[in-house]
Structure 1
């Protein structure tokens, strides 16, 4: 590839100009750096790190002015406090840095390419999908709050252990019974793995995103919080309004109707099927190689 480009340039362009040799590794390196910079910018834009970046830019301008005006005392202080400020920034923004590393490790292409997941993710069937939809809007009509987590490639064992083990086949009647007011399991979230409810009354992490509307309550913040640290999809039924919302990838789709919820769950089914095929193919190929 690189040799072809070099020959083309030498034939049709001025050979007195300098053109560096281009290898396929160089192109791959540029792509990787571009993806990393894009992810870094996204992370900075969606967290408190944006304030840190603005503070660093202001300080950089201040140091530049001090350098131009030869303010030696200020330059001496800045020089000997850089390490302390860097350490302080890491301590202050530890939650954001931790979440960024979690996101990096939870990217689906890593689990697909490297086949990190030992077990194929459980895909829910059409009957389970229709039962979830029917139950959500039945609860919405009587303003019964609900929080339904649909697990994907990343197992939610950490959050499952905070609740009560259920391990029952999902049905509309079971969902209505769990979230009925004043029942032992109505508070908290349920976790759905495939066609089964594995746990109820689970506690989910709340989102720290300051851009979230003040109208949203704890259920919506918990739904967003979980989708920020995992690839799960969370369905929320508001106890105040009866509206149904869906959280995925840190985004919240509010006040959706039955058609949109069905489309979202059908799309999720297709993604899980595709990911399962990729994982099965990789494992089969590795088995054949052995």
Structure 2
């Protein structure tokens, strides 16, 4: 096995691979908790652990025993405190390793399916968003990409109708019994209305953003769908993609991001 000596250590390529994987894991954890209350808790726990190593090296037996109990209980406390970050991390892994979500693999392994995939018709959606924004009527639209959204459709009223601006405006009318909740657009058709979406618990969201935007972000965290939120108070357009919320978009910016994300083989949200 290829190895080299560093001082009194023998380091092989497997050791370097191990170090690289641990560094990548720590980096991903840092990205998940960065800027949140959880990050400060993590730093505090790390400082306690460093203090434990110090008192153990100094042979302070009583203090070492106390910190040992604290750290053993603290491991369980960390799981509870970081439950949302852990959930987001597992969702990220699940989405990235899902074969049906990998367009590159589908191109090579599922060519027949890829060739029959139809693009999402954006014009009626954009025209609807423009009218809703002009009239200060709230709206929440979920556009399917790859993930199966049927369980979310079952939480609302099944419509299964052709996608059209008049029908979308009728659904989001304040006099419509279906205007609350989200409209799911699956396979280029209006699948369901008044659907219930998962709500994000991101503490970094501005207080000016209400429940509709939290639902849009939560849906984008749980699935790879593109979610459009139209503010009822300001008429501003927002778009949630892969757990990231883009706010105050113009109609042209919204169209560009949707086309890139939904219709291109390797689409991803453009940098803000």
* TM-score range for the pair, normalised by the shorter chain length: 0.7 to 0.9
Partner of 1:98: 87
Q: Secondary structure, in 3 states, of the residue corresponding to 1:223?
A: helix
Equivalent positions of 1:155-174 (< 5 A) are: 155-174=148-167
Equivalent positions of 1:93-172 (< 5 A) are: 93-107=82-96, 111-112=101-102, 123-125=118-120, 128-172=121-165
Match of 1:269 among 244, 258, 262: 262
Once the two structures are superposed, residues 189-231 of structure 1 have per-residue CA deviations (whole angstroms, 9 ceiling, x without a partner) of 0111121011111111111111111111111111111112221
Task: Name the Cα RMSD after superposition.
Answer: 3.3
With over 3 angstroms needed to count, the CA separation of the structure-2 counterparts of 1:107 and 1:137, relative to structure 1, is same
Partner of 1:55: 44
Partner of 1:45: 34
Contact 2:33 2:85 in 1 (8 A): no
TM-score, normalization: structure 1? 0.76
Task: Quote how far apart the aligned CAs of 1:35 are.
Answer: 4.3
Structure 1 segments (4+ residues) deviating >3 Å:
18-22, 25-38, 46-49, 67-70, 108-111, 113-117, 119-125
Unmatched segments (≥5 aa) in structure 2: 4-8, 268-272
Q: Secondary structure, in 3 states, of the residue corresponding to 1:147?
A: strand
Partner of 1:12: none
Distance 1:72 1:240 in 2: 62
Distance 1:234 1:123 in 2: 19
Distance 2:242 2:175 in 1: 32
Greater percentage in helix:
1
Match of 1:87 among 76, 96, 100: 76
Q: Which moved more, 1:228-237 or 1:138-147?
A: 228-237
Contact 1:122 1:193 in 2 (8 A): no
Is 1:74 aligned to 2:69, yes or no? no
Greater percentage in strand:
2
Unmatched segments (≥5 aa) in structure 1: 7-17, 276-290
Distance 2:78 2:12 in 1: 40
Contact 2:145 2:262 in 1 (8 A): no
Partner of 2:250: 257
Contact 2:183 2:194 in 1 (8 A): yes
Match of 1:207 among 189, 197, 200: 200
Q: Which has the larger radius of gyration?
A: 1
